[in-house]
Amino acid sequence: MDEETEKDLRTYLDQVVRTVDAAAHSNSEQGMVAVCERCALDALTQYLHNGTLTDVEARAGQSICDGLFRELYNLFEPGRSRRRIIVDAPAQASASRTRGWALREKESGLSIFRPIIYGNTAVVLHQSERDVLPTPDHTHRWTVAVRSAASAPDSDVVGGADDLSYFIKRVTFKLHDTYTNPNRKSGEKAITFYHHLKLHPWTVSGSSEPENPPLDVAAKLGPVHSWQYDEIVFNDPFQSFLNILIAHPPTPLPKNKRKPVPFHTANPASLEASKGGVPEFTQEMEKEEAERLESARKAVIVEQDKWREILIEKEKELSTLQRQLIVE
């Protein structure tokens, strides 16, 4: 698409957004919906399906129209005294016009995911830092976050290589009620994760190390990292949203270990490997986790077989005793 055509397209769609914005502030919801349908359909029909555009131009126009739909959602989000409206093509729309609504069709049977991590990093406060706090009894400075799983090169934070704002609109952290402001918002569908804030150094159950060492000892050990890997899965996404996800592929995790690994109590053997700096998630960790799960699965099967044999023997003994009682 040449520069002049693209400029024309953007100008027209800007006008559509302004028209819809004006409708959003009108008093008639029915009129507002009608304006939305008309403007959006006109935009898609005129520029995506008018026969004068090549396939390349149509795809470029479709990408721009994705931006239009995001604008529509922003206009009708809750909190602006109007309910959210998903604009659908009118039933009487012609086949050529309805084709423009492929962006709002679901990709049935398709799943796509984005890897994330959530957790916290905690650092012991020096006495001089505690002395200037409104509540000097606070012992740690901590950061809790939701980030992309991959870490940026030479970064001093865990994860965060990718900007997640293209599919995460807002994150709300619910802290303990004793905090002055227990609800911390950092920015559609609600997804809930639970994370226990970790302030003290990690220890393995049964070790001689104290669970909560003195602060001066903990300070020498450095920051405490507690992070969990997860994946947000989108099933049957709308085509427009799928396009957005495909346009933002996640940064792949490194194949092999380059830094310490994040510790988790489910894998006590990783404690030593987690020491010595800022941890990083890797593809190797995923492979090792799969191997541990497979080993656990096999161990469960062996245990089941053992107890099944024991049960069979006991049932035979019971049957023998029952026959003896009948004979007597």
Residues 93 and 41: beta-carbon distance below 8 Å: yes
How sure is the predictor about 279, in pLDDT bands with cuts at 50, 70 and 90? very high
- At residue 267, does pLDDT exceed 50? yes
For the stretch 219-229, pLDDT in tens is: 888 999 999 99
Neighbours of 208 (CB within 10 A): 5
Structure tokens at 70: 């995001």
> What dihedral angle (degrees, nearest 10) is formed by the CA atoms of 44, 46, 51, 56?
-50
pLDDT score recorded for residue 98: 37
Tokens 């994370």 identify what position? 195
How sure is the predictor about 85, in pLDDT bands with cuts at 50, 70 and 90? very low
Report the distance separating Cα 232 and Cα 247, nearest Å. Answer: 17
H-helix or E-strand spanning residue 235: strand 224-235
CATH for 111-237+249-281 (3.20.20.70, 2.60.40.1970, 3.90.420.10, 2.60.40.10): 2.60.40.1970
How sure is the predictor about 244, in pLDDT bands with cuts at 50, 70 and 90? confident
Report the distance separating Cα 276 and Cα 291, nearest Å. Answer: 25
How sure is the predictor about 117, in pLDDT bands with cuts at 50, 70 and 90? very high
Q: Where are the domains of the chain?
A: 3-104, 111-237+249-281, 296-328
Residues 188 and 310: beta-carbon distance below 8 Å: no
- At residue 158, does pLDDT exceed 90? yes
Residues of the chain above pLDDT 70, percent: 63
pLDDT score recorded for residue 151: 94
Question: Among 42-51, 84-93, 174-183, which stretch is predicted with the lowest mean pLDDT?
Answer: 84-93
- At residue 315, does pLDDT exceed 60? yes
pLDDT score recorded for residue 94: 34
How would you class 261 by CB atoms within 10 Å of its CB: exposed for 0-12, middle for 13-18, buried for 19 or more?
buried
For the ranges 32-46, 60-74, 251-265, the maximum mean pLDDT occurs at 251-265
pLDDT score recorded for residue 177: 74
How sure is the predictor about 280, in pLDDT bands with cuts at 50, 70 and 90? very high
How sure is the predictor about 179, in pLDDT bands with cuts at 50, 70 and 90? low
Q: Is the dihedral of CA 165, 166, 170, 171 positive or negative?
A: negative
Stretch 185-198: mean pLDDT: 72
H-helix or E-strand spanning residue 232: strand 224-235
CA-closest candidate to residue 37, choices 101, 89, 84, 76: 89
Report the distance separating Cα 270 and Cα 265, nearest Å. Answer: 9
- At residue 93, does pLDDT exceed 80? no
pLDDT score recorded for residue 170: 84
**Residue-averaged pLDDT of the chain:** 75
CA-closest candidate to residue 243, choices 116, 59, 115: 59
Task: List the Cα angle 164/169/174 in 5-degree steps.
Answer: 100
- At residue 256, does pLDDT exceed 80? yes
Tell me the β-bridge partners of 146: 118
The SS3 call for residue 144 is strand
For the stretch 49-84, pLDDT in tens is: 444 555 555 555 555 555 555 555 454 444 433 333
CA distances from 30 to 34, 35, 82, 304 (A): 6, 9, 12, 63
How would you class 49 by CB atoms within 10 Å of its CB: exposed for 0-12, middle for 13-18, buried for 19 or more?
middle
CA-closest candidate to residue 76, choices 5, 7, 23: 23
Report the distance separating Cα 227 and Cα 281, nearest Å. Answer: 9
Instruction: Report which of residues 239 and 72 the model is more confident about.
Output: 239
Report the distance separating Cα 11 and Cα 223, nearest Å. Answer: 51
- At residue 251, does pLDDT exceed 90? yes
